[in-house]
Amino acid sequence: MRAISVRSKNVTTTPFWILPLLLTLTNVGAVSSAGGIESSVRPVGKPVTIKAPIGLPPVPIPPDNPPTAETIALGRRLFYDPALSVDGTVACASCHNPSMGFTDNKPVSTGVQGKTGTRSAPTVIDSAYDRTLFWDGRAPTLEKQVEGPIQNPLEMAHTLDGVVQRLRAIDRYHEEFAKAWGSDQITIEMVTKSIASFERTVLSGNSPFDRYYYHGDKNALPASARRGLRVFTDPKRGNCAACHLIGKTSALFTDHKFHNIGIGANTDGTLTDPGRYSETKNDVDMGTFKTPSLRNVTQTAPYMHDGSMPRLKDVIDHYIGGGNSNPHLDKKIRVLDFLSGRERRDLLEFLQSLTGPLPPDVGPPDDMKPVASAR
């Protein structure tokens, strides 16, 4: 950007009124790969390479937040600390509990003072690969996503400044932020980047499907699950892989897109939740929601954005019936009532094969008590 200048003879001067603007532009830094402003705040400490398990691609890392042992450890502590909520009762882990597939196994989540939200808590597992966050995709990065629940009056009901002030009052955090960021002057950017770095380590691959499909272990899947895989991928049968993608070298089981599959449609075709439309105001997005990954899907019930389906069988039955009719129903949705009973059971067996182990160090730190889900 070229500064506007005033020339007087051979001397070039910058008008006084442009100086604050130039200083602001200089201090905010460059545009990051996520489309936001890249800050000068960068982690210090021991660099860490987050290794993806069998079946997952390399973990994408933002250039302004490379993981270190210290930021991951700090983010892990913050994730389990209810101090982030206004009344000290709700942590990230309250709705994203590792014993429940990093969800809370509720139709909708419970926040401070027993307040309930309107959507089911998505899993944190493999969220490192998400291109957008939340069911409606309103957050572009994990770092930005962290800010949402903190400020949501139905979840943590705090303010970003309030969180910073709360953490500054806890002696232990001064030392831990200094180790992770080279300064004990805590900022919300340090908080969100630390939590995001921890969340990028919450990976699950190496499932029976992965060992069969990517590692060549033909005994990893029973015959029923292998048949279910064929139903899943066959365009003339289940065609599930049209949205829950399986690649040649890895599988995230999502197309990262938004679809209207008829969830929340009333009998007259009206929708109870506009979904992605609330963010884009584009008619084609009415009632669409992000395609979730199917990894560890057996652990993350109930299903759909509103938690309206308690069992995987209910999900299969929904697709068998072709979804709930509404003017915006995705064109890929069609009645599958021609699938036999065995094919449906095989499909369920295949979905159950997508559950893999979690890393050993993603639960609460040893000196912190497990956080119970909010009631």
Crossing angle of helices 341-352 and 223-233, rounded to 10°: 100
Parts of the chain belonging to CATH 1.10.760.10: 69-199, 208-352
Radius of gyration of the chain (CA): 23
Per-residue pLDDT of the chain (375 residues; tens, 9 = 90+): 333 333 333 434 434 343 343 333 333 343 343 444 556 799 999 999 999 999 999 999 999 999 999 999 999 999 999 999 999 999 999 999 999 999 999 999 999 999 999 999 999 999 999 999 999 999 999 999 999 999 999 999 999 999 999 999 999 999 999 999 999 999 999 999 999 999 999 999 999 999 999 999 999 999 999 999 999 999 999 999 999 999 999 999 999 999 999 998 888 889 999 999 999 999 999 999 999 999 999 999 999 999 999 999 999 999 999 999 999 999 999 999 999 999 999 999 999 999 999 999 999 999 997 766 555
Q: Are 326 and 263 in contact (CB under 8 A)?
A: no
Alpha-carbon distance of 138 to 276, in angstroms, equals 8
Q: What is the pTM of this model?
A: 0.89
Q: For residue 166, give the amino acid letter.
A: R
Alpha-carbon distance of 355 to 295, in angstroms, equals 6
* CATH superfamily placement of domain 208-352: Cytochrome c-like domain (1.10.760.10)
Count CB atoms within 10 A of the CB of residue 204.
25
Considering only CA atoms, which of 118, 120, 76 is closest in space to residue 101? 120
Could you confirm whether domain 69-199 is CATH 1.10.760.10? yes
Alpha-carbon distance of 25 to 5, in angstroms, equals 17
